[in-house]
């Protein structure tokens, strides 16, 4: 049997289907089931992470796809191994630019080495102990690598390197973040917290806390229904989606920023509310809980495939909403025309670059191109214009993105107001905060038209919220 770099307390005498270096060995299913209980050594996990990073770089593909394919090709690796490898990969992508800077190279190996130093804080001897060349460990460190790990510094690195973002997007981020640019970028390169929203249709947060004590959860700083779950040293949290309370609808996994955006939407009992870009339904469920199922909620999305999870989530949570799914294909009928001019509140959780979620999706920032931003801006224009037709006089549009780029935020709102020739006015963010979340005022940035949450200031993903009211 080939040496896999596995550790196990059990001796295994059978063999499993194995493919490495073009050599195939066929072995029994019984061994395959047993070997899943083994654990890859930390050094072998580093080798696997380098392999995945190389795949991402060479094929310019999402990290999730590369990790999935690696797992399918290495079925001996258990879920713990796959999770640990994913953590190494995502940490390396979070610090790709700064890691390459201190290592003096942009290779997958160099990026992983740099991230072990910068993101995980490992000292040179600890890193060297992983890179020995033995069994499935990566090749030993050379002298140049040892020197870089020991003495590499970001002191003279430009902002895009120290902040780990593409250079072309830096001016836009600077317009939003101002003097806090570098601290915010560093916060954006850290691991994201694990937050849940207690479902008020089933339990209050106070009622749920004793039962969820085993999760060691703490109340989120700002969201009234939120709890924050500690994550491990490897960046992984518990498998919440298999817990009985999750299956019974007590809570949803949702970043505190998303919870706050839902709260700031201001939906009220008795209103007709449309969630225009509902996707999987996270904010729809939050709105149902906030209104106690006493508002008429209609959820839809331009991509019918994105709506697929919402039905099961509604069933589990007890939330009530009408789902309007457009038919697939090019000639999609508008499923909302009967509501034009009648809706009290339209939530536009707009498609965007996702720059505010780079803590969770670090590979996305390296795949972002100016053309992608232009495409998102066009989509935002379209959904805002559709929302404008739906809302009644005196009704409101709540425009939300998970972006830090002003082109997608204040820029989109300015464009909409100009296109409508005075038919809509911006509701001052201070008034929205005072009405719906007065304690949040000191933890957000006020922009020309709305408010901006951010990792360093708010401790959340980078959500933007603006509210518009129809005058006539």
Q: Model confidence over 41-90: pLDDT tens digits? A: 999 999 999 999 999 999 999 999 999 999 999 988 988 899 999 999 99
Q: Tell me the C-alpha distance between 325 and 4, whole Å.
A: 48
One domain for residues 201 and 236: yes
pLDDT at 2 over 60: no
Tell me: the pLDDT tens digits for 370-413? Answer: 999 999 999 999 999 999 999 999 999 999 999 999 999 999 99
In this prediction, residue 135 carries a pLDDT of 87
One domain for residues 326 and 341: yes
At 78, list the tokens.
């258990």
Collapsing DSSP to helix, strand or coil, 77 comes out as coil
Residues in a beta bridge with 431: none
One domain for residues 143 and 180: no
Does an H or E element contain 117, and which? helix 108-118
One domain for residues 167 and 262: yes
Which of 37-41, 80-84, 143-147, 340-344 is predicted least confidently?
37-41
For residue 2, is it within any domain?
no
In this prediction, residue 366 carries a pLDDT of 96
Q: How confident is the model at residue 365 (pLDDT cuts 50, 70, 90)?
A: very high
For residue 14, is it within any domain?
no
pLDDT at 98 over 80: yes
At 438, list the tokens.
């007065």
One domain for residues 396 and 308: yes
Mean pLDDT on 363-375: 95
Helix axes 256-264, 282-290, angle to 10 degrees: 50
pLDDT at 22 over 60: no
Query: What counts of helices (H) and strands (E) characterise the chain?
Result: 21, 17
CATH number at residue 463: 3.40.50.150
Q: Which residue range is the domain that position 149 belongs to?
A: 37-154
Taking Cα atoms as reference points, which of 439, 277, 429 lies closest to residue 350? 277
301 is in an annotated binding site: yes
Mean pLDDT on 424-431: 98
* Better-predicted residue by pLDDT, 433 or 333: 433
Q: How confident is the model at residue 331 (pLDDT cuts 50, 70, 90)?
A: low
For residue 175, is it within any domain?
yes
Active site residues: 402
pLDDT at 13 over 80: no
349 is in an annotated binding site: yes
Taking Cα atoms as reference points, which of 90, 103, 89 lies closest to residue 45? 89
In this prediction, residue 7 carries a pLDDT of 37
In this prediction, residue 39 carries a pLDDT of 76
Tell me: the pLDDT tens digits for 169-201? Answer: 999 999 999 999 999 999 999 999 999 999 999
One domain for residues 163 and 208: yes
Which of 25-34, 384-393, 447-456 is predicted least confidently?
25-34
Under a CB-based contact definition with an 8 Å cutoff, are residues 235 and 90 in contact? yes
pLDDT at 242 over 60: yes
One domain for residues 138 and 166: no
Taking Cα atoms as reference points, which of 65, 105, 73 lies closest to residue 89? 65
Mean pLDDT of the chain: 91
The DSSP 8-state label assigned to residue 427 in this structure reads E
pLDDT at 347 over 50: yes
For residue 21, is it within any domain?
no
For residue 81, is it within any domain?
yes
One domain for residues 466 and 335: yes
Q: How confident is the model at residue 156 (pLDDT cuts 50, 70, 90)?
A: very high
One domain for residues 382 and 396: yes
In the chain, the number of structural domains is 2
Tell me: the pLDDT tens digits for 264-290? Answer: 999 999 999 999 999 999 999 999 999
Q: What percent of the chain shows pLDDT beyond 90?
A: 87
One domain for residues 135 and 277: no
At 212, list the tokens.
């969820």
The model's pTM is: 0.90
pLDDT at 6 over 70: no
């Amino acid at each position: 049997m080939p040496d896999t770099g596995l550790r196990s307390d059990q001796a295994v005498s059978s063999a499993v289907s194995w493919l490495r270096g073009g050599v195939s060995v066929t072995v029994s299913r019984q061994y395959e089931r047993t070997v899943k209980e083994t654990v890859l050594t930390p050094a072998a996990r580093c080798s696997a992470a380098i392999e995945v990073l190389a795949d991402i770089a060479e094929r310019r593909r999402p990290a999730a796809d590369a990790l999935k394919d690696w797992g399918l090709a290495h079925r001996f690796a258990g879920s713990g191994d796959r999770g640990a490898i994913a953590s190494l990969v995502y940490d390396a992508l979070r610090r790709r630019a700064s890691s390459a800077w201190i290592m003096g190279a942009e290779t997958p190996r160099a990026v992983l080495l740099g991230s072990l130093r910068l993101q995980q804080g490992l000292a040179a001897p600890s890193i060297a102990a992983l890179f020995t060349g033995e069994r499935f460990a990566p090749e030993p460190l050379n002298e140049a690598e040892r020197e870089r790990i020991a003495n590499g510094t970001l002191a003279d690195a430009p902002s895009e390197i120290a902040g780990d973002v593409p250079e072309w997007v830096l001016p836009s981020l600077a317009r939003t973040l101002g003097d806090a640019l570098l601290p915010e970028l560093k916060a954006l390169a850290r691991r994201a917290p694990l937050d849940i929203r207690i479902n008020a249709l089933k339990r209050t947060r106070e009622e749920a806390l004793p039962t969820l004590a085993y999760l060691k959860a703490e109340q989120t700083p700002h969201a009234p229904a939120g709890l924050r779950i500690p994550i491990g040293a490897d960046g992984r949290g518990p498998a919440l989606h298999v817990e009985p309370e999750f299956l019974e609808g007590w809570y949803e996994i949702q970043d505190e920023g998303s919870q706050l955006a839902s709260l700031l939407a201001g939906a009220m009992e008795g209103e007709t509310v449309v969630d225009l870009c509902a996707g999987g339904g996270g904010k729809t469920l939050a709105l149902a809980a906030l209104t106690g199922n006493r508002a008429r909620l209609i959820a839809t999305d331009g991509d019918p495939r994105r709506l697929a999870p919402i039905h099961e989530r509604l069933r589990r949570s007890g939330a009530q909403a009408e789902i309007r799914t457009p038919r697939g294909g090019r000639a999609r009928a508008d499923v909302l025309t009967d509501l034009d001019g009648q809706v009290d509140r339209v939530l536009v959780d707009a498609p965007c670059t996702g720059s505010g979620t780079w803590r969770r999706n670090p590979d996305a920032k390296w795949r972002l191109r100016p053309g992608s931003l232009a495409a998102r801006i066009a989509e935002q224009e379209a959904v805002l214009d559709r929302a404008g037709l739906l809302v009644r006089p005196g009704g409101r549009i709540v425009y939300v993105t998970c972006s830090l780029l002003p082109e997608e935020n204040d820029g989109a709102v300015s464009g909409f107001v100009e296109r409508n020739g005075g038919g809509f006015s911006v509701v001052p963010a201070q008034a929205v905060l005072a009405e719906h979340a007065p304690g949040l005022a000191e933890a957000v940035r006020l922009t020309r038209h709305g408010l901006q949450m951010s990792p360093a200031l708010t401790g959340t993903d980078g959500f933007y919220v603006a509210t518009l009211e129809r005058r006539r």
